[in-house]
Amino acid sequence: MTDRYDTSGNPEGQFQPGTNDQVLLNVLGIVDPEEMDAIELELLEELTESVLNEVSEEQTITIGDLCEWHRR
């Protein structure tokens, strides 16, 4: 039986060299887990602020909206 969570061979399952499998492969070449956490938090805060400024109270949020936010 195949493990549906097995990501071996996929980019999502690869780690940055020299990180002892602590940091996923990334285009920035970051190898420090704390630095990666800080950058991810900063980017999430920026996205959250952006989304909150784009969405109105009356707006119906669609699957397309969620996919776009995830992509960003």
45 found inside a domain: yes
For residue range 52-71, list pLDDT tens digits in order.
Answer: 999 999 999 999 999 999 89
Instruction: Give Cβ neighbours of residue 54 (< 8 Å, ≥ 6 apart).
Output: none
Mean confidence (pLDDT) of the chain: 88
4 found inside a domain: no
67 found inside a domain: yes
Total count of domains within the chain: 1
5 found inside a domain: no
For residue range 26-42, list pLDDT tens digits in order.
Answer: 888 899 999 999 999 99
Tell me the pLDDT band of 50, cut-offs 50, 70 and 90: very high
6 found inside a domain: no
Percent of the chain exceeding pLDDT 70 equals: 94
**What integer pLDDT is reported at residue 66 of this predicted model?**
94
**What integer pLDDT is reported at residue 3 of this predicted model?**
73
44 found inside a domain: yes
* Domain range for 24: 11-71
Question: Per the structure block, which two tokens stand in for 2?
Answer: 């195949």
Q: Which residues pair with 24 in a beta bridge?
A: 15
1 found inside a domain: no
Q: Which residues in 39-72 are b (16+ Cβ under 10 Å) and which e?
A: eeeeeeeeeeeeeeeeeeeeeeeeeeeeeeeeee
36 found inside a domain: yes
Q: Which residue has the tokens 């109270």?
A: 57
